[in-house]
Structure 1
Amino acid sequence: MSFLKKVCTLTAAVSVTAMLATGAAQAKNFKIAVGDSGGSSQEATGLGFKAALEELSGGKHTATLFLNGQLGSEQDTVNDAAIGTLDMSLLAINNVTPFSPTVGVFSLPYVILSLEDAETLTQGPIGAELTENTINDAGVRIIAWTYTGFRVLTNSKKPVESVADLQGLVIRVPKNEIMIDTYKSWGISPTPMAWSETFAGLQTKVVDGQDNPYTTINAMKFYEVQNYVTEIRYIFSIEPLIVSEQVFQELSAADQEIILEAGKAATAASAQFLRDKEAEIKELLVEKGMTISVPENNEQEFIDLATAAVWPKFYESIGGVEKLNAVLAAIGRDPVSQ
């Protein structure tokens, strides 16, 4: 029995009983904005949520995914969800950070070093605290976590194996201060650009490169406009599924429970998708003509520059150095000195 089936089976009886007790609420088709295209980790999360939602609600509720930013930029969808004009959005955590800065702890370079680290942090007390912060700060609730993998660098010009090799390249980054400052620590000034404009920017050579996980690079067909990959792995990309808190509070208690349980199933589906697909996608990108490089000395030069320059700058916005140390302790790493 799949994990999704187990979650649905364990919770279905409770959910159905609660629905009977509170009366039949109106059926709903939840609109979910999705930044990425078909075949992406975001889509896998969305489909996992939809399947669990339909099963747990006995077919009463469903969801429709609007892929490829059809409903607006990722940051725009946070605003739309906050005011209740959009039900849900699947987006990169760095696009939530401007609205709820404490989630930026997950975007600090070289904090999360594995999928297991990401699961521990998002599904434990730290993830719960950040969810509460996001409700209070932005009016949206995180109900599931997408694990998209490490952001790796791509470019159209040359292999990159060292910080020196980065010089002269024009790199697109999201409009996120942590990511911008990380590249600055490596000696270049990146170009902030909306996700919806990125493919065209690469195609027209406005920018030479960008960084994203392998699953996203493949789903967005960046191999058509990029030749080189460098496994810098500076951020493990976490992409939450958020629901409008206004929409959530309008649901019955039973339906709220269904949404939360479907979110857990979607999180599990995302982790399994990454485990199943990433190596396969990496091989496919090589077949498509991309050359993959590994940085010299296991990225130590990149790590030292980024952590020294970026971590201290953002202690205050994430809630203090003690918040970072709590994250590091949760995944068995040494604290930073205060």
Structure 2
Amino acid sequence: MTIRTLMTGASTVAALAVFAGSAAADTWRYAFEEAIDEVQGVFAQKFKEEVEANSDHEVQLFPYGTLGESADIMEQAQSGILQFVNQSPGFTGALIPEAQVFFVPYLLPQDTEELNEFFRTSRAINEMFPELYAEQGLELLKMYPEGEVAMTTREPVTRPEDLNEVKFRVMTNPLLVESYRAFGASPTPLPWGEVYGGLQTNIIQGQENPAFFIESTKMYEVTDHITFIGHNNFTTALMANQDFFDGLSDEDQQVIRDATDAAFEHILEYQDGLSEASLDAIREARPEVTITVLDEDQREPFRAAAASVEQTFIEMTGDRGQEILDQMKQDLDAVSVN
């Protein structure tokens, strides 16, 4: 065998290796928990647009239900079947207990500008949480808000006592269970696919979600009252499979980070006025639904009832949870206009 043959053979092997790596990364699979026209879907579409405009890669999107429930897509992301997954800490809380901090009632601000700036600049989000996600084989790319959470119920709610014995659907998140237990309800963890039917058949009598999601999923068809008690804003997160991300070139990693930043700013702008438009659509579709925003005096009993949940979070998560919570409070103080 000549030296030229050996070199040609080596070159062929190298070329095949490069081709194989390129082919494996050519189509990136991205699953999320909502429909293509809901907030996570809009974020995903912008991410796809930016990646494909600035690289040779293609991003294939999988909306809710196409690959199973939330637990299914997380398993697929951790195993490398999916390159990207968008999932709320409401579901990752069992995997990453500290992520449940986003369900401490009345922690996040109501002011939109403060909230957005917190997600942009928070040290807890941008420096501390990535380390926790990495322990689970996930590269945390971005956390972002989706909108103020409202409760939907069969009966009106103006005080915690109105939730007594109400079977209230919650995500499979231990701290969210504790929050609604503190409010006086009977928290009932259910996969999202069972919620509409559960409300329709009175297996459950309540659930919570941002207004856009209540409208788009037609939850108003199986509820009578929508109530804002000011307790939370729905948070979600985009993650990548850690091995996949670490195996990319610096250039491709930067493409992903730039696309994520662009999608983040796009989704904050997209949400401006979204809740109000969704509530208007609900009023038009079903005028008999009552929509109530509790004032500060009405919210105070809910705040008092939920005061124990913060301590429960610390008990669940120990020193690391305490550090996360303390840092988040510092980050929130830094963006507060008061």
- Bucket of the pairwise TM-score, normalised by the shorter protein: 0.7 to 0.9
Is 1:275 the counterpart of 2:272? The answer is yes
TM-score normalised according to structure 1 size: 0.85
Q: Which residue of 2 aligns with 1:77?
A: 73
Summarize the Cα distance change of 1:135–1:179 in structure 2 as closer, same or farther, 3 Å threshold: closer
> Could you say which residue in structure 1 is the equivalent of 2:12?
none
Task: Show the counterpart of 1:310.
Answer: 309
Letter paired with 2:133: I
- Aligned with 2:82 (options 86, 90, 103): 86
CA distance in 1, matches of 2:177, 2:276: 28
Residue 121 in 1 paired to residue 121 in 2?
no
Partner of 1:132: 130
Q: Does structure 2 retain, via aligned residues, the 8 Å contact 1:45–1:146?
A: no
SS in 1 for 2:291: strand
Contact 2:215 2:282 in 1 (8 A): yes
Deviation track 1:25-45 (CA, whole Å, cap 9, x = no partner) reads 446222221211233111111
2:95 aligned with 1:99: yes
State the 1:76 CA deviation.
Answer: 2.5
SS at structure 1 position matched to 2:80:
coil
Q: In percent, how many aligned pairs have the same letter?
A: 26
Partner residue of 2:299? 299
1:194 alignment counterpart: 191
How many matched pairs? Answer: 309
- Computing the radius of gyration over CA atoms, which structure comes out larger, 1 or 2? 2
C-alpha distance 221-29 of structure 1, shift in aligned 2 (>3 A): farther
**CA-atom RMSD in angstroms:** 2.3
Q: Displacement, 1:258?
A: 0.5
Partner of residue 224, structure 1: 221
Amino acid at match of 2:263: A
- SS of aligned partner of 2:234: strand
Equivalent pair of 2:142/2:238 in contact (CA under 8 Å): yes
1:244 is the counterpart of 2:241: yes
Structure with greater proportional helix content = 2
**2:10 aligned partner:** none
Match of 2:43 in 1: 45
Q: 1:323 to 1:250 in 2, by over 3 A?
A: closer
* Conserved? CA contact 1:97–1:104, under 8 Å: yes
> Counterpart amino acid of 1:50?
K
Could you say which residue in structure 1 is the equivalent of 2:330?
Answer: 329
CA distance in 2, matches of 1:69, 1:223: 21
- Tell me how far apart the structure 2 counterparts of residues 30 and 298 of structure 1 sit (CA, whole Å): 48
- Three-state SS of the structure 1 residue aligned to 2:258 is helix
Aligned counterparts of 2:192 and 2:304: Cα–Cα separation in 1: 28
Q: Shift of the alpha carbon at 1:324?
A: 1.7
> 1:167 Cα deviation (Å)?
1.8
Structure 1 residue 298, shift from structure 2 partner = 4.3
In the alignment, the residues of structure 2 paired with residue 130 and residue 96 of structure 1 have an alpha-carbon distance, to the nearest angstrom, of: 16
Distance 2:277 2:188 in 1: 30
Number of the residue aligned with 2:54: 56
Q: Does the CA contact (< 8 Å) of 2:98 and 2:321 recur in 1?
A: no
What is the alpha-carbon distance in structure 2 between the residues aligned to residue 322 and residue 141 of structure 1? 21
Counterpart for residue 17 of structure 1:
none
Equivalent in 204, 207, 224 of residue 204 of structure 2: 207
For 1:102 and 1:121, locate their aligned partners in 2 and report how far apart those are by CA, in whole Å: 18
* Gaps in structure 2 of 5+ consecutive residues: 1-17
CA distance 1:191–1:227, shift in 2 (3 Å): same
AA paired with 2:179? T
